[in-house]
Amino acid sequence: MTPLEIGYVMVAAVIALLALGLPVALSLLAVGASGLFAIRGVRGTTFLLENLPYSSVANLALIVIPLFILMGHFAFSAGLSDKAYKAAKSWVGHIAGGLPIATVFACAGFATVCGSSVATAATLSKVTIPEMLRAGYNQRMAAGPVAIAGALGILIPPSGILVIYSIATNVSVSDLFIGALIPGVLTALVYALGIYFMVKRDPDLVRRTRVPKATWGERARATAAAWEVVVLFLVVIGCIYTGLATATEAAGIGAGLALIFALFRKGQKGSIWKGLVETGSSTASIFLLMIASAVFSVALGTTQLPTELAKLVAGMNLSPTMLLFLLVVPYLILGCLIDGISMIFITMPIVFPMVQDAGINPVLFGILVTKLIEIGAVTPPVGINVFVVQGSVPGLQLGQIFRGVIPFIFMELALITLMILFPQIVTIAL
């Protein structure tokens, strides 16, 4: 077989192994090593496999991954999710759909100190869903907003997915964080408006679920109680945006601050230790995936398949806008099957050369991929956020949660379309 034919076989083999249920890292590693053996033989493959596992992760900048994960765990231990929800409820709880809207804003607030959609959804669901159910909301309206708004954790900086995208593509993580800020705020506002109009259509639901309007004093106290969220966000993102610290240094500062906040909250020693253990476990999984991805990328690059596909797309004379719309489809499909980190490492060796050749802003593409990963987090059969929400609150029906996120998926698609047509939404601050 020619190297190009081997490349096509490799892609087909990865898809087949994933369909059989083999872990993504093992699938990439097995196919990458086999591809290298077919092209370079035993000596070439042995040499690469001796060096790639170390060289692919031996980068001081990668410390940012466990530090941001750790910061999210410590922020949870410090009770910042609960404080963010109470502050948001004091401002919007009295309007139509006030509690779900407050949940969206609380998710957005907690996302500023936690770069994980799963952690954001799990944390806020325990705080908000029981209260919404008691207030008279059905399971769809109580759980759906938490599942989808939890995905803001991977969009609003600091975002773990954007860090992974930066590592996979060498795009500046600072530029990605800057580019994600406006889309993150816009997404939260669109969710809130969508909830308002959905609830407003049912006057009886508005009457049943309305909560008393908070006084200005209550709002001031609730907002002041959430000062740690504001301080943590301003310190971490402010250091990055102003150039006072690199993303890695800012992540270290943020993790240290979050630890201090957690230590001042009584009874959190067990939670802090659990956060350390889970951070280690998550980091090990991500680094194994990075090593496997490096082997697969080198093997695929050796076959020249990414280059040939880029030439093929260039020969179709598609405009950058049409190419982006075309790429949305496979990402929507992949999002239903695999997690976001795996999706980035699998697709970037093939897709990113096309994006570069088409002259598409890599920051814009990173934000669009992140938005598509948000959709994948709530669509079956994987829909990890939906399962996390169901597992966090006893008695929730899986089907009701999936039905609850459907309107928000259409909102997401509308936002993606808007950003493709008007890329300045992402690039204006760059």
Query: pLDDT digits over 395-412, tens only?
Result: 999 999 999 999 999 999
Q: Does residue 38 register a pLDDT over 90?
A: yes
Looking up tokens 């890695």 gives: 248
Higher-confidence residue: 11 or 270?
11
| Number of CB atoms found within 10 A of residue 135's CB | 16
Amino acid 269: pLDDT = 66
Please name which of 152, 174, 178, 157 lies closest in space to residue 61, comparing C-alpha atoms.
174
Sign of CA dihedral 337, 110, 87, 393: positive
The reply to whether the predicted model has a pTM over 0.85 is: yes
At 30 the pLDDT is 94
How does residue 21 score in pLDDT terms, banded at 50, 70 and 90? confident
Contact 370, 161 (CB under 8 A): yes
Which pLDDT belongs to residue 386?
92
Handedness of CA 274, 279, 280, 285 (dihedral sign): positive
Mean pLDDT across 166-179: 93
pLDDT band, residue 129 (cuts 50/70/90): very high
**pLDDT for residue 260:** 92
| Domain parsing of the chain, residue ranges | 3-427
- Where is pLDDT greater, at 43 or 382? 43
pLDDT at 181: 94
219-267 pLDDT, tens digit each: 999 999 999 999 999 999 899 888 888 888 999 999 999 999 988 877 6
Q: Does position 417 have pLDDT exceeding 90, yes or no?
A: yes
Mean pLDDT computed over 93-104: 95
Task: Give the best-scoring range by mean pLDDT among 42-56, 71-85, 202-216, 359-373.
Answer: 359-373
Q: Which residue has the higher pLDDT, 269 or 123?
A: 123
What pLDDT, on the 0 to 100 scale, is given for residue 267? 64
